[in-house]
Structure 1
Amino acid sequence: MPGEGGMSPSQASALVRLDKLGPSSASELAAAEGMRPQSMAKIVTALLEAGYVVRRPDPEDGRRQVISLTEQGRTQRHGDRRARQALLARALQEQCTAQQLQTIVEAMALLEEVAQP
């Protein structure tokens, strides 16, 4: 089932990984996503065809290929994030009381504090 922007959830997840990890091989992406390399190869091919990623030789090992986000892929990734944030903000405003919103804000602050190294 296609997700936002016509991408599958697996394709969107691969873009997130590349945005966070930087250039990676298909094997590294597959391991990070917990899937078989053959499955990741199909995802990478779709992302290549959409213009969201490029594949280049690894500068440290010419036998290996690394995949990285294109500017179009980065724009897609960040556009999806903004759309999800707007959807969540709207839902919170429509469905939560002021007290509930305050609790959520406090919980988010605590999560950020805990997540800091």
Structure 2
Amino acid sequence: MSLKLAKFQIGQVVKHRLFPFRGVIFDVDPVYANTEEWWNAIPEHVRPRKDQPFYHLLAENDETEYVAYVSEQNLLIDDSETPIRHPQLGDFFEAKIDGVYTPKERMSH
């Protein structure tokens, strides 16, 4: 299996292709890296392939904010310019520049 380069980057705002939510990417897995239980809970007719990048999103819809794990094939760029309101946004990102949130510098010791 050859690894595919991620189409989206950390800090980009994306929306789901099928479901009404959007979010900002805070991490990327080169291939599926969640549990089999999570995988099997996805209805088979919409279940994505495992051999593609999967993105961790600070996600939101009209009702709530949450963390989502989404396959690359189900994401599109969100160019709405609407700010992300997720309460954890400040834990991961600083300013938004040209539509992309800037990741905070990680402290190491």
Q: What TM-score results when the alignment is normalised by the length of structure 1?
A: 0.30
Bigger relative contact order (CA 8 A; separation at least 6): 2
Greater helix percent: which structure? 1
Structure with greater strand percent: 2
